[in-house]
Structure 1
Amino acid sequence: MRHDEIEAQLSDLERSLTLIAHLTPTNAEVERDRFLSSRHYEPEFHYPTLNLDLDRIVERIRSFPLTSTEEVLRYRRSLEHLYLRAELLRARGTRARAIVLSSELFGTPDPEALTHARELLAQAREDEPEIVPSDVIARDLRAELAHYGLHGWAVDYHPSWYTTHDPTRQTVYVNPHRKFTERDRTRLPSHEIGVHILRGVNHARQNHRLIRRAGSEDYVATEEGLAAYAEELTDTLHPNALRTYAARHLATHHAAIGSSFRETFAELRDADLTPLEAWNTTLRAFRGGCFTRDKAYLEGYQAVKDFALRGGSLSHLYVGKVDLTQVPTIIWLLEKRKIERPHLIPRFLSSTS
């Protein structure tokens, strides 16, 4: 099978096995109100209809035609992750099975990072006024896209509380009803566009025979860690953001060890999260029964920061959707001119990298 045919088939499988859309409860708001009005109620979540033939998809993954040692080395990990995604979707709402599968797919929280998370949560929170309307944030994001010449991208509104983006639709989404801090006007363009979107755009220009494909879960910690470190470099990393990452880390720890939803929520409330913050953070970690992906934020931030402080060039992380473990290979490929240097570098690095 030709390389581009393999990539096309794997991309098709990835689109089918979208985790967030399939693992986000459809009755979260109803269960939130019941949960917050009770001292003992444990939420019971319902999930979107799964219009997927998982048996057929799993068989397709297991019988995927890799015909050379090079293909096996290159694509085996991606296929393993796709299989785990499929089985995690099959196990929605089955707590014990979801814990095993999520831990295999994303790993479990690092004990040292867990200690750091508890230390961060022990610090007093520093709140800022949220007075900036969403249309101002949308305008700032559009200006940032224009700065990089990304004219095919758009900014639109979406009910999700979190500002995010969809590379397949080339759209950044903002909650129309949310108020933001003044700091967010710089933070969100640097985070969403200066990291996530630029890395994706650069990746699309590379020789994918030489750079391991995106879509593997391995790069998530680098991706989110770099985004957090970008906030630090732009002086927009609010202490509460680190507390948020710490809270997510603690929540994934509890989800992975089998704590109940309420036990997890209670510890986050003890760490001075508001009821809504504690609910949302716990919900993220309990999606589908257990979803440990959120551990990537704190662990990735520390890993990327350590890399930079040791003299590593962050520009090497902009050749595409790569992770820190690939940097030595990236340097060699750049020296041999086998891959392109990053097409787009964020403005916060352009004068230093």
Structure 2
Amino acid sequence: MNPTESDTKALLKIDNRIDELVKQIELLSYVNPTNIEEEKERFFATKYLTDPIFKYPEINFDRFKLHRELFSQPLESIEDDKVRQLYEDIIYAYSGLIQCIENIGEGKKFYYNSLHAFGTPTEQDVENAKFILHFDDESDNDEQFQPKYNAQETEQLFRDYSKQYDFSYTIKHSDKMSAIAMVLNNIKTLVINSNHTFSDNEIAVLTNHEIGVHMVTTMNGQLHPLKIFSHGFPNYEETQEGLAVFSEYMSDNLTVKRLKELAYRVIAVDSLAKGYSFSKTFRLLHNQYDLNRDKAFYITVRAHRGGGFTKDYLYLTGLKKVYDYYQSGKDLKLLLTGKIALEYCNEIEFLNKKGLAVASKHITDSYFKNNNTNKTVDFILKSLK
């Protein structure tokens, strides 16, 4: 057996073992409170003064054992420096996610782990968000924003949209989530919020975002010899959410209203760094920024869940990075190969050459042609620093 074959065998063994371990840690399965609606009623009844007390799902894995197993992987048996460094980054990233999960509901403890895993908005990110909020958005009375479809009807619309893709997935409904829809990567499942009534615009946005990118990259990720493409590169969330919102843009469904929603998320996450309580973040959005109380509540939940979940600011930073990547003429297909991060493009091309990665089989439908007609959205995206 030559050194290359030996190196590949050692790498595949480590990669498979990491895959077995991290299948257990789908952060979104644990960080979403189970009593959002009850606490919303209580919060509104107290005139926005008493912070919600959220409950979270039980953790069903041995956290210490997971840490120990991750750090006991024999990375020294990977001969290639580039690949060995990648797997070191992977182990540290997943250890950080385990720490996030084990501290859900522990206030500052969780916040600091979230900070370590996802970072926090820079001053420039906050300035970008405030810049977006200066623009007039579309009227709430526009037909496309009118609530129309219940969860069952929404499920059918997702199924109809998905016929263009050569894969199948599970759809579940939940009344215990802060998002209106989300993809759980590990179990190839789309979860629809059964409390929400969906508009035409939301259907268009979510089909392109959740199926066109999140499910496409889930399915592509499973086609590689290396499982890292499926369970996620370090910091993949920023690229992944950037790609998903960019799909909304390319399909002509990205509105100023939607960009403002992403901007409010940046403001909410920034409030964590300022030490704001749940009620203070809510009042900032509702009173200072004039956001209606339901929207202000759910954006605040997203930022404060777990004890301070900073991931939400990455949608806007990721969108800008993917937009610039596309404008520079680079191939988006490389970014669809799985749950990958922009900063690892060179490593992915290297793994492709070694036969340890494959080209994307499923391609986001909206990426074939730029159908965006919204000049204001274009101006905003070009102007972001």
TM-score higher than 0.5: yes
Report whether the alignment pairs 1:86 with 2:102.
no
2-structure distance, mates of 1:305, 1:101 = 29
Distance 1:327 1:216, change over 3 A: closer
Letter of the 2:173 partner, please give it.
Y
Q: Which residue of 2 aligns with 1:198?
A: 216
How far off is 1:232 after superposition? Answer: 0.7
2-structure distance, mates of 1:351, 1:281 = 32
Q: Which residue of 1 aligns with 2:381?
A: none
Q: Which residue of 2 aligns with 1:121?
A: 133
How far off is 1:265 after superposition? Answer: 0.9
Q: Which residue of 2 aligns with 1:53?
A: 62
SS, match of residue 183 in structure 1:
helix
Q: Which residue of 1 aligns with 2:174?
A: 158
Distance 1:351 1:275, change over 3 A: closer
2-structure distance, mates of 1:53, 1:319 = 31
Letter of the 1:118 partner, please give it.
K
Q: Are the counterparts in 1 of residues 114 and 309 from structure 2 also a CA contact under 8 Å?
A: yes
The 5 A counterparts of 1:129-278 are: 129-150=146-167, 152-159=168-175, 160=177, 161-208=179-226, 214-269=231-286, 270-278=288-296
Larger CA deviation: 86-95 vs 74-83: 86-95
Q: Which residue of 1 aligns with 2:323?
A: 305
Q: Which residue of 1 aligns with 2:40?
A: 32
Percent of aligned positions that are identical = 27
Q: For residues 209-232 of structure 1, what are the alpha-carbon distances to aligned partners after superposition, in whole Å with 9 as ceiling and x for unaligned?
A: 9x7664244111111011111111
Q: For residues 136-180 of structure 1, what are the alpha-carbon distances to aligned partners after superposition, in whole Å with 9 as ceiling and x for unaligned?
A: 432232123222121x32434332452122334333232345322
1-structure distance, mates of 2:336, 2:58 = 37
Structure 2: 5+ residue runs without aligned partners?
Answer: 1-8, 371-385
Q: Which residue of 1 aligns with 2:358?
A: 340
Q: Are the counterparts in 2 of residues 145 and 193 from structure 1 also a CA contact under 8 Å?
A: yes
SS, match of residue 174 in structure 1:
strand
1-structure distance, mates of 2:361, 2:317 = 28
Letter of the 1:79 partner, please give it.
I
Letter of the 1:326 partner, please give it.
Y
Q: For residues 84-141 of structure 1, what are the alpha-carbon distances to aligned partners after superposition, in whole Å with 9 as ceiling and x for unaligned?
A: 2222233333323222211111111122111111222343443221223444432232
How far off is 1:260 after superposition? Answer: 1.3
Q: Are the counterparts in 1 of residues 220 and 338 from structure 2 also a CA contact under 8 Å?
A: yes
Report whether the alignment pairs 1:97 with 2:109.
yes
SS, match of residue 75 in structure 2:
coil
Distance 1:112 1:67, change over 3 A: same
How far off is 1:338 after superposition? Answer: 6.9
How far off is 1:301 after superposition? Answer: 0.6
Q: Give the alignment partner of residue 311 of structure 2, picking from 281, 285, 293.
A: 293
1-structure distance, mates of 2:37, 2:136 = 29
2-structure distance, mates of 1:93, 1:344 = 38
Q: Which residue of 1 aligns with 2:335?
A: 317
Distance 1:123 1:87, change over 3 A: same
Q: For residues 244-291 of structure 1, what are the alpha-carbon distances to aligned partners after superposition, in whole Å with 9 as ceiling and x for unaligned?
A: 111111111112332211111111112222212111111111122111
2-structure distance, mates of 1:199, 1:251 = 28
Distance 1:17 1:172, change over 3 A: closer
How far off is 1:336 after superposition? Answer: 8.3
The alignment covers a number of residue pairs equal to 350
Letter of the 1:153 partner, please give it.
Y
TM-score under structure 2 normalisation?
0.81
Larger CA deviation: 269-278 vs 18-27: 18-27
Distance 1:350 1:222, change over 3 A: same
2-structure distance, mates of 1:212, 1:282 = 31
SS, match of residue 219 in structure 2:
helix
Structure 1: 5+ residue runs without aligned partners?
Answer: none
2-structure distance, mates of 1:223, 1:24 = 19
RMSD in angstroms over aligned alpha carbons? 2.7
How far off is 1:334 after superposition? Answer: 5.9
Letter of the 2:127 partner, please give it.
T
Letter of the 1:106 partner, please give it.
F
Letter of the 1:44 partner, please give it.
I
How far off is 1:31 after superposition? Answer: 2.5
Q: Are the counterparts in 2 of residues 214 and 322 from structure 1 also a CA contact under 8 Å?
A: no
Q: Are the counterparts in 2 of residues 99 and 256 from structure 1 also a CA contact under 8 Å?
A: no
How far off is 1:20 after superposition? Answer: 2.2
